[in-house]
Every structure is written in structure tokens, then in C-alpha cells.
Amino acid sequence: MSGFGGSIAVADGNEAPRDDIKLLAENLARVEATMATKEELQAAVGRLEEEFKTAIGGLERTFSRQIGQLASPIASRAFVV
């Protein structure tokens, strides 16, 4: 065993057992991994949102064009009656 006697002095002068320090370090690592995953997921969602906006914009333009193409013959037939 090291000269620390199984504990490590912390900033306020209290001593924390090595097991507690190890547990805190492990928990911190988990939190950091979770935050990295959260940030990656947020970035992926952002990319998907942009892809959907682009796709929806394309569909809107296509439908608008198709409606315009159908409206002209319908309007001309309405006046023929």
C-alpha cells in the first residue's frame, strides 16, 4: 500500500477513501460518456431535420407544379360548358 494509508486528502482537508474516489471517477466517466452520446444524438437529429426540410421543400415544389398543370385544363373546361 502507498504512504497515503488507503485514503486521499481532498481540498477541504477531509480524507476520502480510495474506493470513494474510484467510484466518483467511474461515475464522472459515465456522465461524460452520456453527455457525448447526447451531443452526438442532438447533432444527428439536427442533420435529419435539415434533410426532412429539404425533402419536404422538394415535395411542395413538385406538388405545386403538378397542381398548376392540372388547374389549367380544368379551368379551360369550366368555361367551355
Alpha-carbon distance of 44 to 52, in angstroms, equals 12
- Taking only the tens place, the pLDDT of each residue in 32-64 is 999 989 999 999 999 999 999 999 999 999 999
Whether residue 5 contacts residue 16, with contact meaning beta carbons closer than 8 Å, is answered with no
Q: Express the helix, strand and coil content of the chain in percent, nearest 5 each.
A: 80, 5, 15
Dig out the grid coordinates for 75 from the structure: 379551368
Question: Between β-strands 15-17 and 7-9, what pairing exists: parallel, antiparallel or unpaired?
Answer: antiparallel
Q: Smallest Cα–Cα separation from 6: which of 23, 16, 78?
A: 16
For the whole model, what pTM was predicted?
A: 0.50
- Taking only the tens place, the pLDDT of each residue in 8-28 is 555 565 666 888 899 999 999
